[in-house]
Amino acid sequence: MKIFAETERLILRELMPADAEGMFEMNSDPDVQLYLGKRPVKSIEQSMLEIEFIRKQYVENGIGRWAVIEKATGDFVGWSGLKLIKETTNNHVNYYDLGYRFIKRFWGKGYATETAKAARDYGFNELKLIELIGIADINNLGSIRVLEKVGLKRISIFDHDGTKHHWMKIEKSV
């Protein structure tokens, strides 16, 4: 099991099949899904398939979302990290998206910012990327705030699946 990054409070490692229960708790919660198309998962099998899909990205793209584990408890709290997006979004293709999602009981602890900084640094320092993208529903003020805290700037607003989203970007400083 590969660990991609560590922060003071968290371990960011590859998602494993054993994370399916945590993924299901997170992705079946309507509050978690509020700005994500409002499509909560209905079964743990869906969560297992999502983990398989992400693990395939590790092999094909060298990167994918990471499991976020609390050091103090060993609890799965969600996922964070980078994903190579190969489909066209807002007239862009083959870009690295910085994203995160957490189980609701772990909200408000600063984990999104903590892991977003680690993912940003991994992208620039380990993957040698020159830019990272963030996409957030214009009403998801918490997510927008996190992306801005780690240096992403609002570039434009675009329609994504019928909802207005911010296209945000950070470029590596030389």
The H helix count followed by the E strand count for the chain is: 4, 8
**44 pLDDT band (50/70/90 cuts)?**
very high
Report all structural domains of the chain as residue ranges with CATH numbers, in order of start. Answer: 3-134 (3.40.630.30)
What is the average pLDDT score of the chain? 96
Composition of the chain by helix, strand, coil, percent to 5: 30, 35, 35
Give residue 170's pLDDT: 98
Higher pLDDT, 1 or 150: 150
Instruction: Determine how β-strand 10-14 pairs with β-strand 3-6.
Output: antiparallel
DSSP per residue, 86-132: -S-BTTB-SEEEEEEEE-GGGTTSSHHHHHHHHHHHHHHHTS--SEE
Task: Inform me whether the pLDDT recorded for 143 exceeds 80.
Answer: yes
Task: Inform me whether the pLDDT recorded for 154 exceeds 80.
Answer: yes
The predicted-structure confidence for 50-84, as pLDDT tens digits, reads as follows 999 999 999 999 999 999 999 999 999 999 999 99
Kindly state the DSSP code that residue 170 receives in the 8-state scheme.
E
The predicted-structure confidence for 82-114, as pLDDT tens digits, reads as follows 999 999 999 999 999 999 999 999 999 999 999
Task: Inform me whether the pLDDT recorded for 37 exceeds 90.
Answer: no
- The contacts of residue 1 (CB under 8 Å, 6+ apart) are 13, 14, 16
What percent of the chain stands above pLDDT 70? 99
Contact yes or no for 38/151 (Cβ under 8 A): no
Average pLDDT over residues 39-44: 92
Average pLDDT over residues 126-154: 97
Classify residue 167 as left (phi > 0), alpha (psi -120 to 50) or beta: beta
Contact yes or no for 125/117 (Cβ under 8 A): no
